[in-house]
């Protein structure tokens, strides 16, 4: 893939960033994830409450595994600056879990219920893939595997908030949209875009891009599968 096939991501990434180039290399899978029916129904306010409750519960379990992924990033780091970056990411996730728990409670999911939830197969597949890439590869592999979630959700939130078709006035899911479109999350995502570029400069080389694209594509597909699971739960009423 040549660099000029990538496009800038408004507010997040320049066209020559690693993130933008990975997106361009996985264009169809990326569109299937970021324009998923789950996302569109969130924006419209038409997603079923059962689907959203299932998603919220699984996202709580998802965040626990992602905190472990950032702990793994500390272990895989060779420089103190990378350790601090990973520790900051883990602290951010642990803080986000407090916000997420309050959101879950507003949807009728108590902390005790969250702690007793079984992991959906889609959640297991997604989170364990990220951990496996971090264990088998280096810190760049790990952060590329994290990117579809960490940066992709900022892209989704920002796009939805800018889209005039998004219902933000009378929408039970508006808090979810504004959380990921908010300045705090957007700033964090931009830092991750820059960090990916730095890791690529330090660790990239001839032949590395193909492997990173494969990792990004699979992680993107697994993110879409989490949305699939939410829709399925909504259809079954679970």
The pLDDT-based confidence of 235 (bands split at 50, 70, 90) is: confident
Distance (Å, rounded) from C-alpha 51 to C-alpha 217?
25
Distance (Å, rounded) from C-alpha 85 to C-alpha 136?
20
The pLDDT-based confidence of 96 (bands split at 50, 70, 90) is: confident
pLDDT at 3: 43
Residues 6+ apart with CB under 8 A from 16: 3, 6
End-to-end CA distance of the chain: 42
Q: Could you tell me which CATH number the domain at 20-236 has? A: 1.20.910.10
Distance (Å, rounded) from C-alpha 26 to C-alpha 228?
19
**DSSP 3-state of 9:** strand
**CB-CB contact of 57 with 114 (8 Å):** yes
The pLDDT-based confidence of 1 (bands split at 50, 70, 90) is: very low
Distance (Å, rounded) from C-alpha 105 to C-alpha 176?
14
pTM higher than the cut 0.85: yes
């Amino acid at each position: 893939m040549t660099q000029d096939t990538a496009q800038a991501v408004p507010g997040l990434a320049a066209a020559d960033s690693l993130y933008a180039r990975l997106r361009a290399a996985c264009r169809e899978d990326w569109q299937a994830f970021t324009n998923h029916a789950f996302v569109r129904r969130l924006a419209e306010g038409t997603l079923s409450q059962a689907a959203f409750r299932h998603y919220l519960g699984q996202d709580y379990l998802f965040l626990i595994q992602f905190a472990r992924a950032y702990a793994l990033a500390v272990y895989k780091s060779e420089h103190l600056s990378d350790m601090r970056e990973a520790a900051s990411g883990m602290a951010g996730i642990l803080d986000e879990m407090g916000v997420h728990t309050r959101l879950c409670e507003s949807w009728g999911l108590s902390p005790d219920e969250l702690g007793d939830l079984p992991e959906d197969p889609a959640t297991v597949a997604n989170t364990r893939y990220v951990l496996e890439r971090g264990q088998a590869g280096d810190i760049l592999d790990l952060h590329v595997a994290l990117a579809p979630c960490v940066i992709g959700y900022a892209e989704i939130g920002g796009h939805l908030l800018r889209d005039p078709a998004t219902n933000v006035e009378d929408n039970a899911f508006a808090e979810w949209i504004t959380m990921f479109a908010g300045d705090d999350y957007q700033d964090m995502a931009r830092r991750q875009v820059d960090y990916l570029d730095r890791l690529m400069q330090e660790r990239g080389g001839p032949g590395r891009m193909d492997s990173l694209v494969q990792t990004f594509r699979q992680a993107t597909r697994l993110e879409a599968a989490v949305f699939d699971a939410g829709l399925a739960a909504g259809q079954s009423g679970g």
